[in-house]
Amino acid sequence: MLNLMLAAALVVTAPAQLRAVDVARPAAPIAESRRSVSDDNEHMIKARKALETGDFDLARREFVIAAALERDAGRLPKDAVFGLAHSLYSLSYTREAAIVMNRLAEEASQAGDVDTEAMALADALWLNMEAGQRAQARADGSRLRHLLKTAKLSAATREYVSTRAR
């Protein structure tokens, strides 16, 4: 529960000038949330509905809560974090979206989930480039190349990563 409060506090306290929605910005090129164990989580349901209706701030808050609940339950919060990154990007928080994707990649690495790690790194690399974080993007690219060479990634993950390189 402590994770939930800390995560919500970190994301909710962004400066006011960062909270403005950039309406002209295209939809995020981030992985669409896939169904998982968290599907019955009321916060995931609310977050997905808010994302569909364009209420990105509500979606962000609900994804933060859903991710914290997943972590508290000992699960990797892939769907919640991908959704959170999508919401953050849509709110023009590109750097913050990259940070949450890098954190997911690290968590996936520790859990041994190479597919999630690769997809999170692919998105983090793109987001870090968008945010002007070139050094972090290079580090993400290096980790991703290593995974592509050494890990047994699914065909779907390899396809996903290749679409990010375009």
Tell me the per-residue pLDDT of 91-131, one tens digit each, with 9 for 90 and over. Answer: 999 999 999 999 999 999 999 999 999 999 999 999 999 99
Give the chain's length: 166
Contact 26/62 with Cβ under 8 angstroms? no
Task: State whether residue 125 is helix, strand or coil.
Answer: helix
82 has pLDDT over 60: yes
Task: Give residue 41's pLDDT band: very low, low, confident or very high (50, 70, 90).
Answer: confident
Note the pTM of the prediction, 2 decimals: 0.76
CB count in 10 Å sphere of residue 1: 8
CA 146 to CA 46: how far, in whole Å?
A: 37
Long-range contacts of 107-115 (CB under 8 A, 24+ apart): 107/76, 107/77, 108/76, 108/78, 111/76, 113/76, 113/78, 114/147, 114/151, 114/152, 114/153, 114/157, 115/153, 115/154, 115/156, 115/157
